[in-house]
Structure formats: structure tokens, C-alpha cells
Amino acid sequence: MLDRRPAIRNLAALWLAGLLVLIAGTSPVAAGRVLTDMAGRAVALPDKVSRVGTIGAVPVLNSFVFAMGEASSIANNLPPNLGGPRWRFQYVVAPELTNRPIIQSGQGPNIEGVIEAAPDVVLTMDRTTIDLLGRSNIPVLYLSWQKPDDVKAVMRLLGELYGKQESADAYNRYFDQIIGTVARRIDGLKDEQRPRVLYANLQRMTQPHKIAEWWISKAGGRSVTDDGRVGEAFNFSTEQVLTWNPEVIIVTSEQEVADAYADARLANVSAIKNKRVYPIPMGVHVWGNRTVEQPLTILWVSKLLHPDLFSDIAIEDEVRSFYSRFFKTDLSQKDISTILSGSAGATK
């Protein structure tokens, strides 16, 4: 039987190329300046950017734009696989996203959606997206977040993009201020005063994000999964949890708290016996992941681990202030409670 797959792939490639030519022909960019992105690429941009597309890690990219106070500039909705109430605070900060076109299919660009959205620039952390949009006349800025401090470099670049360097500087000062405040308060703690902490998705038996090793340490804990690994995810077994015997367990959802307490195999683990299992908060993104809300993560965890050292800090007030100052959004008390309980997915 004749294999038609190569021909189909060729037709798809020609169709994509045709659409990219269409974009190039219908969306001319009046380049008035050049920015160097985080891949070292010189990118020609219009003098004023009013519409940005986000492709790839969309909630993270959106959170950067939110922190610039530019939520209304996002030209696209979340991808279909990120729909539902779990991401409700993306829409609290930027309600106009609901009516914006979808510009992402899976992890790559949806070309028809890109044409409809007509962004002045696309932001991405995915090099494939750069290649796919390379034939278009739409500038693509590559952002990178490999190390914790990279968030500040991203903010500086967005400050240049929007012509709002003072907003980027204000966020970066806040970031350094929170890290510094926590560092001073936990300075001098001995190892035995730093609780053993496990951040985990217990349903999958994995520590899902390497950055957790950083925020656990910065908050005055000792991560039991911090073995110097290079990869993002860290898989483990129930037997390994018993060996680690974490004093605090932070899980990725509210349901996992109940599941952890109900798991008879974990009954003798310190965190279970002492009722010290907590869901990670979730606002515009999960606080355990890479997000501009990371300073709030540090504060929340440090108060969780060392309540006596942080008794004067009201996390609710910090969340309210952060969203108002950087996201230009006033939260209700119910909103704040939803974020801190990690229950965004349970409430619309």
C-alpha cells in the first residue's frame, strides 16, 4: 500500500509556509528600534508596543506582562488545554483575555490565531516558536528563566520593550527586598532548626520543579530532594519518603493534603503525624513553579517554617499589596483566601 504520509507532511509544510508569507505580507512592522533578547538576538521592534502575543509557557509569560502593569496588552487567550477554573486569576487580572483569539495549538503557534491577534511582538521561552515564526514579519523576543535571578533580567527586558524601566526596577527592588528580609531573619539558624521539607505531587510521586530547591532553602528549610540534580522533575517512591521523613510536606493541590493524611503507608512520617502538610498557593500561576509571584512564595514558606521569626508579617496583606502594586488588581478577601488555600481550581 502506498505510504501517503510524506506527501501529507509536505503539503502541511507548504500550507504553513503560505500562511507565514501571508503574515509577512499583511502585518508589516514599522521597526523603530532594536532590542537584544535573552538568546542574544537583535530584534527590530516598533517604537511603541501595544499588543503582545504569548506562546509556549503562556501563564508564566502573562505573569511577567501583568507585573509590568500591561495586562491589557496581551493579544491572546490562554491555550485550550489551560482552560477551566484552575487559571481563574489570569482572568481576574486580565478579564479581556476571554475574548482574545487562541494563538497556540499544543506547544506551538496557531498561525491563523496569530494572524487574527496581530501582535506587535510575540514573547516566548520556546526556540521552536522563533523558528516557526521566522518567515513572518512579526518580531519574536526570546525570554529565558534558567536561574532564579533571571526573573529580574526578564523584567528589565520587558521594561525596555514597554518603555517602562521604572516599573521593572520597582519589581526588581521588591524581589531583592523580600529575599534580603527573609535572609536576615533566618541568618544564624543551625541545620537542625531548618525543617526537612518535601515539595511534591504525591499522586505522581514527583518533585515537579527544580526551582523549589531554591525557594525552600531561601525560606529556611532543607529540601529532601536537593541532590544537585540538573533535570526539572525528581521521581521518588513511598519508601524514599519514609527514609527522608520530612517534617513539612508541601503538595500541589488541596486534594493531596487529604490524600496524604489518609495514606496509611505515610502514617509514621513526621509531617503526617504533626499535621504539617500544606497545599501550595496558586494565583496567576502555581507559587511552586517559576512565577513573578516568587517573592510571595518565599514569604509564605518562611512563615510556614519559622512562624516565630515572621509573626509580624501578614501574608494576606502582602498578597493584596502585591496584586495592587504590580498587577493593578484589587483582590477581595475571598480572592486572597482562594489563592493562599491553593483552591483556585475549585472555585469559579
Where does the pLDDT of residue 136 fall: very low under 50, low under 70, confident under 90, or very high at 90 and above?
confident
Cell 509573626 sits on residue: 311
125 and 197 within one domain = no
In a domain, 62, yes or no: yes
| CATH number (domain holding residue 337) | 3.40.50.1980
> 162-200 in b/e burial notation, b at 16+ Cβ within 10 A?
bebeebbebbbebbeebbebbeeebeeeeeeebbbbbbb
In a domain, 11, yes or no: no
In a domain, 12, yes or no: no
Please say whether the dihedral angle defined by the alpha carbons of residues 332, 54, 117 and 88, taken in this order, is positive or negative: negative
Using DSSP, state whether 223 is helix, strand or coil: strand
Which of 138, 163, 188 lies at the terminal end of a domain, its last residue?
Answer: 163
221 and 146 within one domain = no
Give pLDDT tens digits for 149-191. 899 999 999 999 999 999 999 999 999 999 999 999 999 999 9
In a domain, 17, yes or no: no
In a domain, 222, yes or no: yes
44 in Cβ contact with 136 (< 8 Å): no
193 and 149 within one domain = no
Task: Please give the pLDDT value at position 44.
Answer: 94
Question: Which residue segment(s) compose the domain that 34 sits in?
Answer: 22-163
264 and 134 within one domain = no
In a domain, 10, yes or no: no
* Cα→Cα distances 9→16, 110, 128, 132, Å: 11, 17, 18, 15
Task: Give the global pTM.
Answer: 0.88
What mean pLDDT comes out for the span 118-146? 89
63 and 155 within one domain = yes
Q: How many domains does the chain have?
A: 2
In a domain, 5, yes or no: no
